[in-house]
Structure 1
Amino acid sequence: MKYKVGLAIAGAFGLWLANSGTAFAQEEISTAELAVAMDTFFLLIAACLVFFMQAGFAMLTAGLTRSKNTANILFKNLMDFVMCSIAFWAVGWGLAYGTSAGGFIGTDQFFLGNVTAEGEVPILASWFFQVVFAGTAATIVAGAMAERTKFVAYLTYSFILSLFIYPVVVHWVWSGYGWLNGGDGTWGFTDFAGSTVVHSVGGWAALMGAIILGPRLGRFSSDGKPKTISGHSMALAMLGAFILWLGWFGFNPGSELAIGSQGSADAVALIAVNTNLAAAAGAVGALVTAWLRYGKPDLPQTINGVLAGLVAITAGCAYVTPVFAVLIGFIGGPLVVLAAEMLEKLKIDDPVGAVPVHLVVGIWGTLAVGLFAAYEGNTGTTGLFFGGGATLLIAQIVGILAIGLWTAGLAGAMFFAIKATIGLRVSKEEEEAGLDIGEHGAVAYPDLSPSRPYMPGASAD
């Protein structure tokens, strides 16, 4: 009896497998469809990692500034991505990736209209990946202008940067039709993941904002000597650095835009390794430089050294070997320390070192592609030290200068306009009390405050 029951069950299972096999054959997914699905999933996961970098910037900036401004800084980091998302959806994406007008600017796809595509990664997935990059460029500015900028001014410039200034640069370089890199007959400027397109754009805007805004109260003495204003939490700063380091594994490898083939998988692996090595080398470079100059190992400078290595390798992470990734990152470390000292001499106040990290090292990383590219980039040639001659290096210099002039010019005009209309800087009284109270009527650490700030309409309890 047991034998017959077992035989019946085996027979039924065999019939189910036969029928299922027929159904699976009818619904078989093609290799091309599977590759698109893998690429889409990869792009969305990478975008989520880059989005998480917003938390890293928030923690880093809050930690390196004073506790009385913490709520304001966190609020601004929240709102810059809010403003960026709306601006990049409405106009920014169209200017960046719409039909090109002379290689300068996109002219359609505003509000994400008419963006369907067949047989490739959905354009909406590409938009999501690109909007987190736009948010990164906007966030960079916050650090250099921390502790003295009006909240309404911050909302305004985040929106404008994401709406127009940044998207036009993207069109020049990444749209496939831009005058800096749009195929035959263009310069062939090469920036794989954004040392210049993202980081230097944010850095140029940060520099102009810091200059026009002026230094924090007490940052320089009456005779012009710099005075240290310490951040309130190295724990938050370190947490921010680790989050940013993690997020960069979406930033750089994700810029391959695909992983559904052996070639793209190999490229993603190389990019991830180069990214990590450059970050570590940048930390060593900054640590050694600061130790030699100041006699003590400096934690904030070493944190910025990590970020410098990451920024430096971002342009060339797909084109250089690991050995040169270490070299590129290591050079970024001393550049951060020396550039911070130069800003102090010029009496430019940058509380978190955004300009040294993102602008100065972003320029270095972009030039490094023209020197050390071992694999052909968008110019179809290698770097100066790998037999490609000066073609790529010249293209890099042209791109750096063009994007610098565009961003600094427009950002400077924007900040002057904001200053002349709604105002750019808080009052002296608000700055002394802290922007948490002056701008928001709240504090980040109420248990440490001597008394709760007055808020109109609040209960007296």
Structure 2
Amino acid sequence: MEILTINNVWMMVCTALVFFMHLGFSLLEVGLTRQKNAINILFKNVFIICIGLLIYSLIGFNLMYPGSFIYGIIPDYFLGLFGLQAPMVDGVLDLTYNEGYTFYTDFLFQGMFAATAATIVSGAVAERIKLSSFMIFAMLYLAIVYPIAGSWKWGGGFLDELGFYDFAGSTLVHSVGGWAALIGIYLLGARIGKFDKNGISQAIPGHNIPLATAGVFILWLGWFGFNGGSVLSADPSLTSITLVTTCLAAAAGGISAFLFSTFRYKNYDLTMFLNGILGGLVGITAGADQMSPTDAVLIGLISGVIIVLGVALIDKLKLDDPVGAVPVHLICGIWGTLAVGIFGNLAGWDQFFKQLAGVGVIGAFCCISALIIFYTIKATMGLRMDGLSETEGLDIHEHGMDAYAEFGVTQEK
């Protein structure tokens, strides 16, 4: 009982840290976008955590951990039969259904992960999506797509049986959000002024880089819970190595992105530095418990280069991702998942191809699902704000508020 208590307390601490990450995402997105859309960004992030927890309790948790599957793929709790209820043993609630933590601790920890997937999409589609359209997308994606994809590995589905490995969600959280972000920015189109008449990308600076920097440090702190909690116990050796590899990959990713972007663009770009840290964190997440410190540094170094090249690729494709969500969460998520087959305890061609198969299956499912949801919304109620609202700012047109009204800050035109 003492071990259960210790494990459960550790899991609750990690849950709090993952919850705190949502402040980090909020500050990062606000800082990297323009002041005229700050309220809109914050509103979306507040909405995501609130509706995410409710939907996950009603549908998502049962769908993600169904117990059994139809044809090995469809969770037998499909569309849930709503409600969050601990299992019963001899007519009594069995709260200690796992030797590491209780049923309700498990729900809360996993619920924080669920909300993260929609937050990734929020940053990518910022500054031009209709708030109502985004809210409907987020609810449907969190209710159906995220838990079904997660069930295939974490719920004991066919990817788990295949041997696919994703410790804390490089694919099951980050790329699930990243694929949806990619589809969203493709269907939305670029912000007004992002590309000139010749198709050349124009910088649209974020209005508060100090806030963005604070957001990244909060996210790094929160990753102690994201990866540390994924050990699913307070085991000293496993939690220690997991936190070490997480931190080393983050540091290496930041340094790598800073050096490579300086070499490529001949300036010290703080935003590349910050996204390099996040890329390192996403890259290590799939195999944080399997890597040595040296492996973690190598994964982080490669993640940082991927960030710089990924941002350039998004611009070349004439896609507009204001916060770099696709390079960070999708491309580094794919890299981190494949890295499990290259580095660490599971390295080998057999494991690499299992990882590749998992990436492909999840990617196809998420792209098709996101395309159906986004396209249906676009065809019915529309996805994008009108030009005047986008130019004058979503805060005034959708919220009737100014994030900095007390300071007399004028709206950008």
| The two structures share one fold, judged by TM-score above 0.5 | yes
The residue aligned with 1:161 is 141
The residue aligned with 1:79 is 47
Matches within 5 A, 1:349-428: 349-374=320-345, 382-384=346-348, 390-428=349-387
The residue aligned with 2:398 is 439
CA contact 1:286–1:333 (8 Å) conserved in 2: yes
In the aligned structure 1, how far is the partner of 2:138 from the partner of 2:48? 6
In the aligned structure 2, how far is the partner of 1:428 from the partner of 1:268? 50
Aligned residue pairs: how many? 398
Q: 1:179 aligns with which of 158, 163, 168?
A: 158
Q: 2:85 aligns with which of 95, 113, 135?
A: 113
CA contact 1:106–1:171 (8 Å) conserved in 2: no
Amino acid paired to 2:94:
A
Q: 1:330 aligns with which of 292, 301, 307?
A: 301
Of residues 358-367 and 109-118 in structure 1, the stretch that sits farther from structure 2 once superposed is 109-118
**TM-score when normalising by structure 2:** 0.94
The residue aligned with 2:408 is 448
3-state secondary structure, aligned to 1:62: helix
Of residues 81-90 and 192-201 in structure 1, the stretch that sits farther from structure 2 once superposed is 81-90
Amino acid paired to 1:55:
L
Amino acid paired to 2:379:
A
* Unmatched 5+ stretches in structure 1: 1-32, 375-381, 385-389, 452-461
CA contact 2:95–2:104 (8 Å) conserved in 1: no
In the aligned structure 1, how far is the partner of 2:179 from the partner of 2:76? 23
Amino acid paired to 2:9:
F
* Unmatched 5+ stretches in structure 2: 88-92
The residue aligned with 2:90 is none
Identity %: 44
**TM-score when normalising by structure 1:** 0.85
Amino acid paired to 1:117:
D
User: Which is greater in Rg?
Assistant: 1
Matches within 5 A, 1:312-351: 312-351=283-322
The residue aligned with 1:56 is 24
Amino acid paired to 2:201:
P
CA RMSD of the aligned region, Å? 1.2
In the aligned structure 2, how far is the partner of 1:164 from the partner of 1:239? 32
In the aligned structure 2, how far is the partner of 1:354 from the partner of 1:106? 33
TM-superposition CA deviations, 1:158-193 (whole Å, max 9, x none): 111110100001100101x20000xxxx21100000
In the aligned structure 2, how far is the partner of 1:316 from the partner of 1:361? 13
Matches within 5 A, 1:24-423: 33-102=1-70, 103-104=72-73, 105-107=75-77, 110-115=82-87, 116-117=93-94, 119=96, 120=98, 121-175=101-155, 177-181=156-160, 186-259=161-234, 264-374=235-345, 382-384=346-348, 390-423=349-382
CA contact 1:281–1:329 (8 Å) conserved in 2: yes
Question: 4+ residue runs of structure 1 moved beyond 6 angstroms?
Answer: none
Task: Tell which has more relative contact order, 1 or 2 (C-alpha 8 A, sep 6+).
Answer: 2
CA contact 2:342–2:352 (8 Å) conserved in 1: yes
